Amino acid sequence: STPACNAACIGCLSMQRGDSPFPYSQPRLEFSPSPDEIAEVMSHHFDRVEGAVASFGQGCEGEPLLRAKDLAAAIRQVRNTTARGTIHCNTNGSIPSAVRDLAVAGLDSIRISLNSATPLYYERYHRPSGYSFDDVMRSVGVALDAGLFVSINLFFLPGFTDSEKEVESLDAFLARFPVQMIQTRNLNIDPDYYFDCMEFQESDPIGIATLLARLRENHPEMRLGYYNPPLR
């Protein structure tokens, strides 16, 4: 839905800075489709597929919240003609007011990406421009308050995600924001490069299996998965 983004994530699939040690894998769109074009594609999918999901912000896109006004118009256009299909947004959660506007328009679910629930590591990985970790937290709260199905796209890297302090930060985040799902997204990046970028001091991890067991025990109503579920 958009080629633009307000973050410069270290492991971005669709854009890399000139000094990056690796290339991006899939180029972004080179144009911004109109609300009518977006609605047309969504309606076509919903009319033909049972349990269909239409997602903004897939890997070949920028940040959909930057086009919230147009996306809201497309959502309204679709919902004026059908109640079928789940309308979903994958996002960095940078603009809480945009999340609210999309929810009012008829968005069903949202997935917000985090590499870490620790502000310092979040900033070092996502390299946000014009927003902060606090804005992302506000977006999570706005989405929950609006009744959206909220997932966290948590970038998993063994040795980092399952370090004791990261587990404590994640547990505190989930106690504050009882999201419905965590998607355990494998972070495809060289771990040494990642640790250097994070300036992360390695510690003895508890293990991914132990982390998942702890999440299930402490947050039994929360799903663990990998894909955005259909809701309609």
Tell me the Cα Rg of the chain.
Answer: 18
Residue type, 125: Y
In tens digits, what is the pLDDT along the chain, a chain of 232 residues?
888 999 999 988 877 787 887 777 788 888 889 999 999 999 999 999 999 999 999 866 899 999 999 999 999 999 999 999 999 999 999 999 999 999 999 999 999 999 999 999 999 999 999 999 999 999 999 999 999 999 999 999 999 999 999 999 999 999 999 999 999 999 989 999 999 999 998 788 999 999 999 999 999 999 999 999 999 9
pLDDT tens, position by position, 178-187: 999 999 999 9
Instruction: Output the six-digit token pair for 206.
Output: 């508890």
**Domains in the chain, start-ordered, CATH in brackets?**
35-225 (3.20.20.70)
- End-to-end, the C-alpha distance of the chain in Å comes to 22
The reported pTM is: 0.94
Q: Would you say 85 and 109 are in contact if contact means Cβ atoms under 8 Å apart?
A: no
Q: Would you say 110 and 89 are in contact if contact means Cβ atoms under 8 Å apart?
A: yes
